């Protein structure tokens, strides 16, 4: 029963994605940005759909289940990111439209009048997005495997899911994402509210009683403790807020908006929409009682659903889950392919020309999807850890972007390169050696244990950016770039 | 006016980023939730309220503004 429902939802999603191309001529601007004709409703759907991905569905509930209070960071950063978007997004959107920019790398290349910077930014974007895409597919595999009682294995599910994704992305581009995101959000919010109310009722007799009882049986659960103490919380929220709009796929809907006013309206509406996340946290806490001692805490929501609900409800939960993986997955796929084609391949003379780039972008979807699927099948890390790593990389773009707007004359292109290089190099060093910044600098006060490495890299980034900019004034002082 | 809007917009950041250092506690339970969780939920709602105020105070969002007159200070 669960299997049939999940298969049905999957087929419907792919069909809806294919339908969305009906009557549209598909060139790169249409495929990647929907001709920039997305009205308030579509942009809202794309932005809102961004929060409720498989990361929140499995990752947030799993984090609450395994760690408790640190999961509150997921609730906190969304609201602040939308507030920041009120000021940050309209000027970016306007600039992108004025100059016909399609990718985030185009934006940097244009703003700093330097093509190589575009390549570097594109590369950082692709490096950060591949694990994010893999995470969606990994989640999809887990969902199908658990919800169908292992009738379909995780690896097979990843392969089928990836194939469906490729088909509708190649055919319909960003329109497919916006359309399926409507169905996805309705289903996932219904499932989240239902599980978030039902599971605590089932296990504790209500949400209030659940917190009262867990506070007694797990006294450490609802407060922050070293190493994930208040410093960790503050710095992690900050990295996530600043990095939120630095994802290359965020640039896609910033540039796709017809009217910049939608970003100011969304700063009011989306923090409230974010509150649905509470129910997903409730699910994680209830699962502590229902399915204690799971080895993989990312399974908390699914295991609790399977343990307490009939097969057809589990099928709906699983269906919502795969949509939560497919919809953001499709957007990530489009953006990664466009970045590689437009800012990488386009510089090779044989690929110059609009038609060829357009073809290349759609063709690149296939190898990228395969790479992500392989990543999901062969390498596996916790969902939240994977996303946080991606965030600490993309947040490195923040200083150059903001200074490039408000103080363009203070920053030079070599300065931006130096800042990005320092930030990315430090992060890569820390990641590869499995260390944290506090372990490298033993003189830092002990209170700073848990400081997000992204913040440390960001500080180095800004220092290098300012120093090199100051040293390379003269001809790099871009008097020739008009202010937007 | 611009300063007032920026200050209003900064409040949520203060409430969440700085606030967490003072509210890392379980009791009192408010609306059934442990205090730290309640604090974050409250600020999520307050963010929406404050951004609504900012929106209303922002001359760019006046209905009578001519189309295309939404150029900011950038």
Residue-wise pLDDT tens digits, B16-38: 888 888 888 888 888 888 999 99
Q: How far apart are CA A456 and CA A473, in angstroms?
A: 26
Distance from CA of B48 to the nearest CA of A (A): 5
The domain ranges of chain B are: 26-60
Q: How far apart are CA B6 and CA A484, in angstroms?
A: 21
Distance from CA of B26 to the nearest CA of A (A): 6
As for the ipTM of the complex, it is 0.85
- Of A174, A329, A179, A183, the residue nearest A255 (C-alpha): A174
**CB–CB contact B36 A69 (8 Å):** yes
CATH number at residue A179: 1.20.1730.10
SS3 assignment, position A228: strand
pLDDT digits (tens, 9 = 90+) for A162-192: 888 888 787 777 666 666 777 788 888 889 9
User: DSSP 3-state helix, strand, coil percentages of chain A (rounded to 5)?
Assistant: 80, 0, 20
pLDDT digits (tens, 9 = 90+) for A281-294: 999 999 999 999 88
Q: How far apart are CA B36 and CA B28, in angstroms?
A: 9
Cβ burial, residue B4 (10 Å; 0-12/13-18/19+): exposed
Q: How far apart are CA A213 and CA A339, in angstroms?
A: 50
Instruction: Specify whether the CB–CB gap between A272 and B48 falls below 8 A.
Output: yes
pLDDT at A338: 84
Reply yes or no on whether the pLDDT at B71 is more than 50: no
Nearest chain A residue (CA) to B12: A80
pLDDT at A196: 92
pLDDT at B66: 45
* Sign (positive or negative) of CA dihedral A217, A220, A221, A223: positive
Q: What's the number of domains chain A is made of?
A: 1
B24, B36, B72: residue with CB nearest A91: B72
Beta bridge partners of A123: none
Which of A51, A70, A76 would you mutate first to test chain B, the one with the most B CBs within 10 A?
A76
- Sequence length of chain B is 74
Nearest chain B residue (CA) to A68: B37
Residue A442 located in a structural domain:
no
pLDDT at B4: 86
pLDDT at A439: 67
B29, B40, B70: residue with CB nearest A261: B70
* Sign (positive or negative) of CA dihedral A433, A132, A147, A286: positive
pLDDT digits (tens, 9 = 90+) for A338-374: 888 888 776 776 666 777 777 788 888 888 888 888 8
| A-B contacts at Cβ under 8 angstroms | 114
Q: Compute φ and ψ for A103, nearest 5 degrees.
A: -110, 165
Across A23-32, A399-408, B43-52, least confident range: A23-32
| Residue B14 DSSP code | I
**Residue A60, Cα to own-chain centre: how many angstroms?**
13
Q: Does A274 touch chain B (CB under 8 A)?
A: yes
**CB–CB contact B61 A83 (8 Å):** no
pLDDT at B63: 61
Q: Which two tokens stand for residue B45?
A: 């709602």
Question: Angle at Cα A79 formed by Cα A77 and Cα A81, nearest 5°?
Answer: 65
Q: Which two tokens stand for residue A410?
A: 């203070």
B33, B47, B58: residue with CB nearest A271: B47
Element spanning B50, H or E: helix B35-57
Residue A36 located in a structural domain:
yes
A253 vs B37: which has the higher pLDDT: B37
Percent pLDDT > 70 in chain A is: 85
Q: How far apart are CA A466 and CA A458, in angstroms?
A: 12
Q: For A38-63, b where at least 16 C-beta lie within 10 A, e where not — what string?
A: beeebbbbbbbbbbbbbbbbbbbbbb
Reply yes or no on whether the pLDDT at B44 is more than 90: yes
Distance from CA of B12 to the nearest CA of A (A): 7
- Of A273, A251, A239, the residue nearest A79 (C-alpha): A273
* Sign (positive or negative) of CA dihedral A207, A211, A213, A214: positive
Beta bridge partners of A129: none
Nearest chain B residue (CA) to A241: B13
Radius of gyration (Cα) for chain B, nearest Å? Answer: 17
Measured between beta carbons, the chain B residues lying within 8 angstroms of A224 are: 20, 24, 36
Reply yes or no on whether the pLDDT at A412 is more than 80: yes
Q: How far apart are CA A68 and CA A107, in angstroms?
A: 39
SS3 assignment, position A38: strand
- Of A296, A228, A187, the residue nearest A69 (C-alpha): A228
Residue A202 located in a structural domain:
yes
Instruction: Specify whether the CB–CB gap between A383 and A138 falls below 8 A.
Output: yes
How many beta carbons lie within 10 A of that of residue A1, not counting itself? 12
Reply yes or no on whether the pLDDT at B1 is more than 60: yes
Range(s) of the domain holding residue A130: 2-380
* Sign (positive or negative) of CA dihedral A95, A99, A101, A107: negative
Q: Which two tokens stand for residue A51?
A: 């929060």
Reply yes or no on whether the pLDDT at B42 is more than 90: yes
A212, A271, A483: residue with CB nearest B48: A271
Across A147-151, A334-338, A370-374, A437-441, least confident range: A437-441
Across A11-20, A212-221, A474-483, least confident range: A474-483
Peptide bond into B28 cis (omega under 30): yes
């Amino acid at each position: 029963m669960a299997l049939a429902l999940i298969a049905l939802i999957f087929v419907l999603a792919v069909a809806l994605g294919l339908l969305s191309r009906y009557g549209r001529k598909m060139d790169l601007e249409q495929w990647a940005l929907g001709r920039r004709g997305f009205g308030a409703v579509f942009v809202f759907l794309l932005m809102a759909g961004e929060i409720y991905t498989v990361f929140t569905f499995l990752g947030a509930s799993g984090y609450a289940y395994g760690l408790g209070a640190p999961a509150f960071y997921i609730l906190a950063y969304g609201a602040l990111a939308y507030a920041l978007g009120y000021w940050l997004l309209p000027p970016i959107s306007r600039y992108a439209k004025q100059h016909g920019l399609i990718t985030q790398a185009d934006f940097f290349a244009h703003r700093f009048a330097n093509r190589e910077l575009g390549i570097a930014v594109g590369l950082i974007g692709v490096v950060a997005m591949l694990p994010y895409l893999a995470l969606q597919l990994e989640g999809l595999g887990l969902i199908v495997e658990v919800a169908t009682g292992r009738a379909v294995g995780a690896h097979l599910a990843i392969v089928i899911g990836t194939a469906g994704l490729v088909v509708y992305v190649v055919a319909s581009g960003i329109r497919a994402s916006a359309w399926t995101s409507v169905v996805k959000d309705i289903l996932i919010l219904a499932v989240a509210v239902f599980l978030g109310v039902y599971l605590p009722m089932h296990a504790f007799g209500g949400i209030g009683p659940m917190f009262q009882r867990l506070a007694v049986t797990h006294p450490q659960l609802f407060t922050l403790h070293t190493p994930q103490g208040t410093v960790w919380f503050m710095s992690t929220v900050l990295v996530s807020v600043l990095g939120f709009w630095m994802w290359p796929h965020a640039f896609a809907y910033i540039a796709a908006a017809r009217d910049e006013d939608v970003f100011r309206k969304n700063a009011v509406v989306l923090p409230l929409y974010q509150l649905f996340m509470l129910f997903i946290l409730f699910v994680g806490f209830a699962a502590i009682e229902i399915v204690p001692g799971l080895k993989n805490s990312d399974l908390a929501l699914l295991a609790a659903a399977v343990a307490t609900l009939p097969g057809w409800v589990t099928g709906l939960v699983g269906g919502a889950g795969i949509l939560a993986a497919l919809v953001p997955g499709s957007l990530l796929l489009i953006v990664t392919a466009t970045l590689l084609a437009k800012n990488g391949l386009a510089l090779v003379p044989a690929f110059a020309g609009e038609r060829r780039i357009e073809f290349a972008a759609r063709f690149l979807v296939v190898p990228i999807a395969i790479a992500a699927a392989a990543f999901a099948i062969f390498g596996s890390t916790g969902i939240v850890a994977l996303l946080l790593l991606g965030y600490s990389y993309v947040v490195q773009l923040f200083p150059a972007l903001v200074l490039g707007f408000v103080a363009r004359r203070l920053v030079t292109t070599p300065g931006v390169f130096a800042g990005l290089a320092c930030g990315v190099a430090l992060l890569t060093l820390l990641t590869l050696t499995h260390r944290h910044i506090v372990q490298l600098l033993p003189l830092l006060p002990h209170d700073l244990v848990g400081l997000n490495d992204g913040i440390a890299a960001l500080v180095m980034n800004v220092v290098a950016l300012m120093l090199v900019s100051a040293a390379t004034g003269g001809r790099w002082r871009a008097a020739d770039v008009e202010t937007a | 006016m611009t300063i007032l809007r920026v200050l209003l917009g900064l409040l949520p950041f203060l409430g969440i980023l700085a606030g967490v250092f003072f509210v890392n506690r379980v009791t009192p339970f408010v609306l059934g939730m442990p205090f730290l969780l309640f604090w974050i939920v409250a600020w999520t709602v307050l963010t929406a309220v404050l951004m609504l105020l900012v929106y209303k105070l922002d001359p760019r969002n006046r209905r009578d503004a001519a189309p295309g007159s939404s150029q900011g200070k950038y």
